[in-house]
């Protein structure tokens, strides 16, 4: 029968995996959950972040996570540009949702092909002291290459949450997701607040990308596997809610880990869909409802 220690290990690995998924989903929780911008290209930006990390790591022997943090400001600027384009072409014309979806799909595809052209279709990986080692607690083994992304991801989510709750700009971002008109009456431009938020969302892709390449080797089209996962986590988590998204990511990670260990790893990408479809069909308000 099932070995309890193996199950325990699978659950522990799943929690770490889920924590990392939350880093990928965070940008979508902001862009889609709060701003209602269906940014399908976010996972492709994450992969771009991973490739940038690979470059910095292989040329300057920079620590991957540090490389991700260094790349965050340029990604913030990239987010501003993408949002500007989206705003001018779709939001202002009032046909945002569906045309915008096709637009982001195009951006996803272009990013992927450009990465193939620039870096080739091979798998890339990084070198760091915590890749290959693991911590042991009794009979539970935690690989550090999962532990570090988990910790960084949690820190990023908590910091961003504090920013949203404490700072004026953060509260304005929350306000823009609730009532744009009221924000305008307070003398704040919704467009500026939205571009700030979208920039932040894209900046998280740089960090998530550096975590991705620590977790596993990366090739350009790998981002697609995360679209289903990230959107499932955001929808199941209740759209704008960070902690709901984190909880949903961890549930997803545990399920994937158990299925991979006990059954067959090739089923793992399909599990996100198993989460997403019933949520959409039966509980579209998500696990924790629409609260931050």
CB of 113 to other proteins, least distance (A): 4
Instruction: State the binding string over 39-68 for other proteins (x if CB under 8 A, else -).
Output: -x----------------------------
Q: Is 6 in the site for other proteins (CB under 8 A)?
A: no
Residue in 120, 119, 140, 186 with CA at minimum distance from that of residue 4: 140
Cα angle: 120, vertex 125, 131; to 5 degrees: 175
CB of 109 to other proteins, least distance (A): 4
CA distance 242 to 223: 21
Q: Is 97 in the site for other proteins (CB under 8 A)?
A: yes
CA–centroid distance for 52 within its chain:
16
Q: Is 81 in the site for other proteins (CB under 8 A)?
A: no
| Alpha helices per DSSP H over the chain | 4-28, 42-60, 64-86, 96-119, 144-166, 168-178, 180-185, 190-215, 224-236, 242-262, 268-282
CB of 64 to other proteins, least distance (A): 26
DSSP count for the chain of H helices, then E strands:
11, 2
Residue 138 burial class via C-beta count within 10 angstroms: exposed 0-12, middle 13-18, buried 19 and up: exposed
Cα angle: 126, vertex 131, 137; to 5 degrees: 160
Residue among 19, 27, 33, 38 that touches other proteins (CB under 8 A): 38
Residue among 107, 148, 196, 205 that touches other proteins (CB under 8 A): 107
CB of 235 to other proteins, least distance (A): 7
Would you say 210 or 279 has its CB closer to other proteins? 279
Residue in 208, 199, 191 with CA at minimum distance from that of residue 75: 199
Torsion of CA 70, 76, 77, 81, to 10 degrees: 150
Residue among 5, 167, 270, 285 that touches other proteins (CB under 8 A): 270
Which part of the chain contacts other proteins (CB under 8 A), choosing from 149-157, 192-200, 209-217, 225-233? 225-233
Token output for 26: 């965070």
Token output for 289: 């409802």
Q: Is 248 in the site for other proteins (CB under 8 A)?
A: no
CA distance 216 to 201: 22
Would you say 12 or 101 has its CB closer to other proteins? 101
Would you say 217 or 269 has its CB closer to other proteins? 269
Residue among 73, 106, 132, 289 that touches other proteins (CB under 8 A): 106
User: To which H or E segment does residue 203 belong?
Assistant: helix 190-215
Residue among 161, 171, 224, 290 that touches other proteins (CB under 8 A): 224
Applying CB under 8 A, the residues found at the interface with other proteins are: 38, 40, 85, 89, 95, 97-99, 101-103, 105-107, 109-110, 112-114, 116-117, 221, 224-225, 227-228, 231-232, 235, 264, 266-270, 272-274, 276-277, 280-281, 284
């Amino acid at each position: 029968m099932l070995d309890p220690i193996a199950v325990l290990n699978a659950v522990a690995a799943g929690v770490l995996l889920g924590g990392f998924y939350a880093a990928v989903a965070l940008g979508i929780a902001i862009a889609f959950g709060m701003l209602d911008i269906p940014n399908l290209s976010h996972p492709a930006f994450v992969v771009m972040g991973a490739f940038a990390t690979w470059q910095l790591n292989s040329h300057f022997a920079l620590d991957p996570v540090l490389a991700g943090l260094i790349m965050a400001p340029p990604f913030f600027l990239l987010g501003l540009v993408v949002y500007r384009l989206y705003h001018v072409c779709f939001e202002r014309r009032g046909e945002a949702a569906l045309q915008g979806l096709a637009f982001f799909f195009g951006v996803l595809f272009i990013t992927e092909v450009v990465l193939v052209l620039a870096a080739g279709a091979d798998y890339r990986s990084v070198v760091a002291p915590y890749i290959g080692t693991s911590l042991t607690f009794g009979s539970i083994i935690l690989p550090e290459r999962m532990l570090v992304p988990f910790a960084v991801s949690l820190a990023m989510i908590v910091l961003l949450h504090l920013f949203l709750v404490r700072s004026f700009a953060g509260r304005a971002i929350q306000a823009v997701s609730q009532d744009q008109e009221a924000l305008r009456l307070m003398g704040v431009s919704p467009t500026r607040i939205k571009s700030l938020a979208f920039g932040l969302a894209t900046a998280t892709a740089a960090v998530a990308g550096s975590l991705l390449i620590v977790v596993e080797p990366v090739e350009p089209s790998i981002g697609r596997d995360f679209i289903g996962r990230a959107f499932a986590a955001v929808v199941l988590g209740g759209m704008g809610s960070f902690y709901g998204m984190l909880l949903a990511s961890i549930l997803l990670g545990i399920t994937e880990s158990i299925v991979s260990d006990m059954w067959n790893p090739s089923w793992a990408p399909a599990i996100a869909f198993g989460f997403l479809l019933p949520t959409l069909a039966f509980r579209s308000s998500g696990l924790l409802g629409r609260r931050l």
